[in-house]
Every structure is written in C-alpha cells, then in structure tokens.
C-alpha cells in the first residue's frame, strides 16, 4: 500500500516539500500559478494528507466529535442536527458515534475523540458526571442532556418547564380533567410530570389522573390507554390527554380515534418532548419544540467559547524543562457552565381546530420546518 506522501507531490510538481505544505495550509504564501500546479499534481496522484501526521505536527483539526447513546430517538437526531448546523456555520465538521447505551463503549469513543485531537467533543451522557472521577480534559468537552457535580460544562433541556408549558396550555384550552400517561423513572419523564403538577397546583378544580403503569412508553401503550379512556362515559372521560412523550401521545390519538372519539373535538391530546420521529400521524401533535436541536446547538457554542478562551491564554508548546514535577499542572479552562434550554410551545391540530400560534421564535408552529430540526 505505498501511500502517496507530500514529498511525492513536491517532487512530481517540481517544487519543494515546504511549498506543498504551504499550498495546503497557507495558500496565501504561495504564488497562484504554483498553487495551481500543486493542486493539479495532488489530484493526479490522488494524494490524501495523513491527518495523523498533520495533527501530530501541530495542525489544527476543525472537527467536533459527538458521542451519543443511540440513534433511534428523535432527541438524538435533533442534537446531531443542531450541532451539525452550528458547527458548519463556524467552519467545523462533525463526527458522530453511537455507544448504544454501553458505558464502556462511551468511554472508548470519548477517549478516541480526545486522542484524535478533535477541536472539541460533545457527549450525551445517560448518567450523571461524577466529580470524583472527573479529570479535566485537555480537549474542550461539553456534556449534553445530563448533569453532575463535576466541574464540567453542561447543556440540558428544562424538562420540568416542558411539563409546565403543556399543562398551562391545557388550562388555557379549558381542560377540566387531564390524563397524563407515561411510566418509568427516567428523570425526563419524572420532571415533566413534576412540571405538570406544579402548573396544576394552582387549579385544584382540574382533575388529574396519572397512568404510569404501562411497561413501555411506546405508541402501543398510548393506543391502548387512549382507547380505554375514550370508551369511558362522557363524564369520566378526560378532556385533555398529555403524553409524557410524543410517541405516547401519537399512540393515544390513534387509540382515541379508534374508540370513536374525535381529536381534538372530544379530547385534546398533547405531547411533551418534541420528538420529530413521532410527528407522523394524521393529526398533527401539539408538543414542545424539539429541545434536542437547541441542546446540540448550544453545545457547539460552548465548545467554541472554550476554544477561543484557550487560544487567548497560553502557548501551545510548553517548555519541557520548566516542569517542576513530572505531572503537568491542571489545564486551564473557562468557568464551568450549565446552560439550560427552555422549551416553547408548538401548538398544532391535536389541541385546537383552528390555526396555530407562534412560539417565541415567531414561527408559525404548524409550519415549522422539520428539516430545520431534523
């Protein structure tokens, strides 16, 4: 596998090695004519710079890494989308890896990304980042969708506010009897439920039923529960159903419809988590804006901040002899920060017949461009 290297290009193009390097890294330092010849030679020879060597020698790597627990959930896809968009906007690329909820794998990818000298790494963790175990990394890192007592950077979605928002919407829509479906101890779920309770605490007249005994929060569970509720007598039937996840809510719409009730006329239904993958039923679903997109976007922004903070601080190469002990001192970093992404309402058909209202972004919610998020 004799790889073409920079010296081959130089020889073939009749210039020196340094000039090729310059043509690649500092085009302005090379005469246009020469540059053209070099480019042509590169193409002809099929030269691909060895990134390892390039990085090792001190080149910068305009690439971020994103480590995710899965790829089959809308939230993750949104994170990718948001991160990617923001990265590209700033001239960075994005590499994604999926650890499939295997913590060992997560560390492997994390280490790989750090070791490969990416400009920064985003990690969607599924467990808290423990301060005791935490090592200040030499590469900017931001943790997504989790918290912890480590002095690290975090971006999370405000799940409690999601619940509050939806509950308030139910109140505005005149709900008298709200059914909430969703089970499990996942913090997201619990926080949303807390938010709902919080919003409802000032309205003792509104009845609240919570169904948290389904084994899974899938569309099937939503369907069953929805159908079951819709078959109740009119008095006992809730007039507003909240799915703690959009998947549940989508299932509920189908179940309610199948049982002969109309959405939103008889029963209004709303989701909570802006899961785009669930937005496919015949009746569009009121929910919160996809938080993942914003989380990914903010994550990259925090990365960028850390990068510029570091650049303005120290030199890249330290004088080895000046190290008193063998162990390098703590890397400096910007003040640890926790960014919280606030949700906004996306009102659609499932809770109102008429047109939709815009969120704080001023967008017509019904017309939100999925492509922007996903």
Partner DNA sequence: CTGAAAGCGCTAACAC
Partner DNA sequence: GTGTTAGCGCTTTCAG
| Distance in Å, CB of 95 to DNA, minimum | 19
8 forms part of the interface with a copy of itself (CB under 8 A): yes
Interface map 54-83 toward DNA (x if CB under 7 A)? x-xxxxx-----------------------
Asked if 94 and 118 count as a contact pair (C-beta separation under 8 A), the reply is no
Please identify, among the stretches 146-154, 191-199, 249-257, 351-359, the one whose residues bind a copy of itself according to the rule CB under 8 A: 249-257
Query: For the range 135-140, what are the long-range contacts, defined as Cβ-Cβ under 8 Å and sequence gap of 24 or more?
Result: 136/330, 136/331, 136/333, 137/331, 138/114, 138/331, 139/113, 139/114, 140/302, 140/303, 140/306, 140/307, 140/310, 140/333
Please identify, among the stretches 25-33, 279-287, 337-345, 349-357, the one whose residues bind a copy of itself according to the rule CB under 8 A: 279-287
Cβ-Cβ contacts under 8 Å for 53 (sequence gap 6 or more) = none
108 forms part of the interface with a copy of itself (CB under 8 A): yes
User: How many chain residues are in contact with DNA, going by CB under 7 A?
Assistant: 35
Nearest Cα residue to 106 out of 123, 131, 84: 123
Task: Pick one of a copy of itself, DNA, none as the site partner of residue 31 (Cβ within 5 to 8 A by kind).
Answer: DNA
Dist CA 274 CA 276 (whole Å): 6
Contacts with DNA in 283-312 (CB under 7 A)? none
Asked if 192 and 272 count as a contact pair (C-beta separation under 8 A), the reply is yes
- 255-260-264 Cα angle (round to 5): 75
Q: Identify which of residues 19 and 284 has a Cβ nearer to DNA in the complex.
A: 19
| Distance in Å, CB of 16 to a copy of itself, minimum | 14
What do you get for the CA distance between the two ends of the chain, in Å?
40
| Distance in Å, CB of 4 to DNA, minimum | 8
Q: Identify which of residues 71 and 340 has a Cβ nearer to a copy of itself in the complex.
A: 71
30 forms part of the interface with DNA (CB under 7 A): yes
33 forms part of the interface with DNA (CB under 7 A): yes
327 forms part of the interface with DNA (CB under 7 A): no
Of the candidates 43, 213, 215, 317, which one interacts with DNA according to CB under 7 A? Answer: 317
Asked if 348 and 286 count as a contact pair (C-beta separation under 8 A), the reply is yes
Residues facing 339 on adjacent strands? 155
The dihedral over CA atoms of 6, 12, 17, 19, expressed in degrees to the nearest 10, equals -110
Asked if 156 and 295 count as a contact pair (C-beta separation under 8 A), the reply is yes
Ranges of H-type helices in 73-186 = 74-89, 103-115, 159-172
Of the candidates 17, 34, 39, 50, which one interacts with a copy of itself according to CB under 8 A? Answer: 50
- 65-71-77 Cα angle (round to 5): 75
Q: Sign of dihedral through CA atoms 345, 350, 354, 355? A: positive
137 forms part of the interface with DNA (CB under 7 A): no
316 forms part of the interface with a copy of itself (CB under 8 A): yes
138 forms part of the interface with a copy of itself (CB under 8 A): yes
User: How many chain residues are in contact with a copy of itself, going by CB under 8 A?
Assistant: 71
The residue with tokens 């010849």 is 37
Task: Pick one of a copy of itself, DNA, none as the site partner of residue 223 (Cβ within 5 to 8 A by kind).
Answer: a copy of itself
Of the candidates 56, 172, 262, 340, which one interacts with a copy of itself according to CB under 8 A? Answer: 56
Cβ-Cβ contacts under 8 Å for 297 (sequence gap 6 or more) = 82, 83, 85, 86
138 forms part of the interface with DNA (CB under 7 A): no
5 forms part of the interface with DNA (CB under 7 A): yes
| Distance in Å, CB of 47 to a copy of itself, minimum | 9
| Distance in Å, CB of 215 to a copy of itself, minimum | 15
Contacts with a copy of itself in 210-239 (CB under 8 A)? 219, 223
Sites of contact with DNA (CB under 7 A): 3, 5-7, 14-22, 24-26, 28-34, 47, 49-50, 53-54, 56-60, 317, 320
């Amino acid at each position: 596998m004799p790889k073409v290297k920079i010296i081959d290009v130089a020889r073939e193009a009749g210039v020196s090695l340094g000039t090729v390097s310059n043509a690649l890294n500092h085009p302005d330092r090379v005469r246009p004519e020469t540059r053209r010849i070099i480019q042509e030679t590169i193409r002809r020879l099929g030269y691909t710079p060895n990134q390892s060597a390039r990085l090792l020698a001190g080149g910068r790597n305009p690439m971020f890494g994103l480590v995710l627990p899965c790829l089959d959930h809308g939230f993750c896809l949104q994170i990718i989308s948001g991160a990617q968009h923001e990265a590209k906007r700033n001239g960075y690329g994005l590499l994604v890896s999926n650890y499939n909820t295997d913590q060992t794998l997560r560390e492997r990818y994390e280490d790989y990304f750090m070791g490969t000298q990416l400009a920064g790494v985003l990690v969607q963790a599924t467990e808290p980042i423990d301060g005791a175990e935490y090592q200040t990394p030499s590469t900017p890192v931001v943790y997504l969708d989790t918290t912890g007592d480590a002095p690290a950077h975090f971006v999370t979605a405000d799940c409690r506010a999601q619940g509050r928002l939806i509950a308030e919407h139910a109140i505005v829509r005149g709900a008298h009897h709200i059914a909430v479906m969703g089970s499990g101890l996942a913090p997201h779920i619990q926080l949303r439920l807390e938010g709902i309770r919080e919003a409802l605490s000032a309205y003792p007249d509104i009845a609240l039923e919570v169904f948290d005994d389904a084994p899974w929060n899938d569309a099937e569970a939503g369907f069953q529960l929805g159908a079951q509720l819709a078959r109740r007598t009119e008095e006992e039937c809730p007039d507003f159903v909240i799915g703690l996840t959009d998947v549940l809510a989508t299932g509920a719409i189908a179940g309610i419809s199948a049982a002969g009730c109309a959405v939103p006329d008889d029963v209004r239904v709303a989701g909570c988590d802006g899961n785009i993958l669930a937005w496919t039923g015949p009746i569009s679903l009121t929910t919160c804006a996809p938080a993942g997109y914003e989380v990914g976007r903010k994550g990259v922004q925090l990365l960028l901040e850390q990068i510029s903070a570091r650049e303005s601080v120290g030199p890249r190469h330290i004088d080895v002899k000046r190290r008193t002990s063998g162990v390098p001192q703590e890397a400096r970093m910007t003040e640890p920060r926790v960014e919280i992404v606030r949700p906004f309402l996306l009102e659609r058909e499932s809770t109102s017949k008429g047109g939709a209202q815009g969120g704080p972004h001023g967008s017509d919610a019904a017309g939100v461009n999925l492509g922007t998020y996903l």
